[in-house]
Amino acid sequence: MSSSHRLSIKDLTVSYQRVPALHHIDLELRCGKCVALLGPNGAGKTTFLKSLAGLLPFETGTVVFEGHEHTHARHHTHRHQEPSRRGGSERCIAYLPQRSVVDWDFPLTVRGLVEMGRFPALGNWGRFKREDRRIVQEALAATHLQDLADRQISALSGGQQQRAFLARAWAQHAHIYLLDEPFTGLDRNAQTHLGELLRRLSAEEGKLVIVSHHDLKTVPDLFDQVIFLNGELVAFGDVAEVFTPERIAETFSTHVFTG
Amino acid sequence: MLWLTEPLHYEFMQRALLGCVLVGFTNGFLSAFIVLRRLALLADALSHSLLPGLAVGAIFFGLAPLGLFSGAVIAALLVGVGGQLVARTSRLKDETAIGALYTVSFALGVILLKYARVPVDLNHFLFGNILGISNTDLWIIYLVGFLASVCLVSQQRPLLLALFEPSVAMSVGVPVARLNYLLITLMILAMIASLQAVGVVLSIGLLVLPAATIYLLSDSYSLMMWGGGVLGAAGASIGLLLSYWTNIPSGPAIVLVLGAGFLAALICGPRYGVLARYLRPRHLHGESLARWEKKTRADAPLAPQSTGD
């Protein structure tokens, strides 16, 4: 692998009102991989992504990336949780929420959305320079959105909307991309297109891409590795080894692990 | 043309006009954030709850602007914080809690005003009286406007991130909760500053109409901020002059002028207006329309009705 960057998750437990939704997850993920996050509804997929993004406090455990530790004090309630450290470590993570939580009528064009990706690096006062403009242009080109750059974000198709958010993450120059159900509601062409983009991000650009996913049929085509999750970690590994009928049955079996 | 410049000869009109420009700009500038953060209902509730504070101020300090100002700040804080407390400690949701508290506090205010040291006109508190604006009032408005502009412009980027998608904003380190409190604080201050112009009942108009109008006309966030400020200032000034010429109360005149602009945008807006929606061609994409026409033309000599696929 071109990159030796690792995301180490040790003993991660995340709770809602003291009821754990994720139990003692241990994982070691390497950059340059495109990873599927699979599990039944309520398995904690969104919780897992949000906790990596620093949006939820950890009950136990640590997440370490490139020496930056994301640890969250236990006494914080998640409503008031703010990332413990500002600057460096947050900038390297890009979180793409489910499409349904976005206000698509917001007065924002595609270019404006992608430019927002530069804000963490620029801070409140940093001038938007030619270099930033170039990065935005590059992100738009990579996601094939140049021609749509001046459209308002609701005037895009579902696939284009996903790509626009991906372009923002791209402009952020993040190392870790956390995508929550990006393939939901996309037709086959749009799925293929997005899949290729994620491949390019991971294989060529050496990023770590983690995607929560529902459609088991497409897993071998889209991903390098899978994480099976059902409250606890069921299995993790390369698609060829771990993505087997037995594992799938085990993960999606009616037995749901609850605290 | 004399009638046009005539009001400007009077000192009280000059002062009122300056007040209108400042109040209109401050509220209009803030209104982008109120609209996008969906704070309009909270703003309405908090503005009504200012009344008992004004009344207590009038009881202790008469009509001194600083006394009224402090009373109003305290009342808004009590209702705002009280609403949060009730919502957290009972099963009520916060809009219910604030709704309950603000009506009670409004009623209390109306009664308390009876006990003010000096005879006060309830109408002035409810609907404003810009002609009675004092120098201290102007200073308060100016300072609030300055503070709001500096805060909002300096926090423009994190605010945009937080307004658009709070969870993503948090993941890149934006202090979303703190920005929210900042917005509510500025909103309360702007509301109090506009009391003299439009009163507690109408102040929500200045805080919502300017940005709502621009929102219907454009897709630009910064245009909503600056355009909202300009529109607010223009609307307030035009309203004031109209009230002078036609001898109607100034507060309602200001809100009606802004309301007329809003209605015009709602109906005639080129992209999001009601008319545009009905007049738009049925095919949204010109390209698909062209292809369809070409196809029907090609099919026409044969059998126009059997299109098949």
Q: What is the predicted ipTM?
A: 0.80
CA distance linking residue B162 with residue B36, whole number of Å: 10
In A113-142, the residues whose Cβ lies within 8 Å of chain B are 116, 119-120, 122-125
**The domain that contains B177 carries what CATH number?**
1.10.3470.10
- Token pair 């605010």 is found at B159
Closest C-alpha among A105, A101, A151 to residue B212: A105
CA distance linking residue A170 with residue A56, whole number of Å: 23
In B197-236, the residues whose Cβ lies within 8 Å of chain A are 215, 218-221, 223-224
Half-sphere CA count of B243, side-chain side, radius 13 A: 26
Per-residue pLDDT of chain B (309 residues; tens, 9 = 90+): 677 778 888 888 999 999 999 999 999 999 999 999 988 888 888 899 899 999 998 888 888 888 888 999 999 888 888 887 887 788 888 778 888 888 999 999 999 988 887 788 888 888 888 888 888 889 999 999 999 999 999 999 999 999 999 888 988 888 998 998 899 899 999 998 888 888 888 999 999 999 999 999 998 888 999 999 999 999 999 999 999 999 999 999 999 999 999 999 999 988 888 888 888 766 556 667 677 777 777 665 554 444 444
What is the per-residue pLDDT for B306?
44
Q: Please report whether residue B52 resides in a domain.
A: yes
Q: Please report whether residue B269 resides in a domain.
A: no
Q: Please report whether residue B275 resides in a domain.
A: no
User: What sign does the CA torsion over B135, B141, B144, B149 have?
Assistant: negative
Token pair belonging to B252: 């309602």
pLDDT tens for each residue of A179-234: 999 998 888 888 998 999 999 999 988 999 999 998 898 999 899 999 999 988 99
Q: Please report whether residue B224 resides in a domain.
A: no
A109/B contact by beta carbon, under 8 A: yes
Question: In chain B, which residue's Cα lies nearest the Cα of A96?
Answer: B168
A90: nearest CB among B157, B160, B173: B173
Q: Please report whether residue B176 resides in a domain.
A: yes
Please state the domain count of chain B.
1
Q: Please report whether residue B219 resides in a domain.
A: no
Question: What's the gap in Å between the CA of B34 and the closest CA on chain A?
Answer: 13
Q: Give residue B169's domain range.
A: 2-204
B173: nearest CB among A106, A108, A120: A120
B156 contacts A107? CB cut-off 8 A? no
Q: Please report whether residue B285 resides in a domain.
A: no
Q: Please report whether residue B101 resides in a domain.
A: yes
**CA-to-CA dists, residue A206 to A164, B1, B201, B301, angstroms:** 20, 71, 58, 58
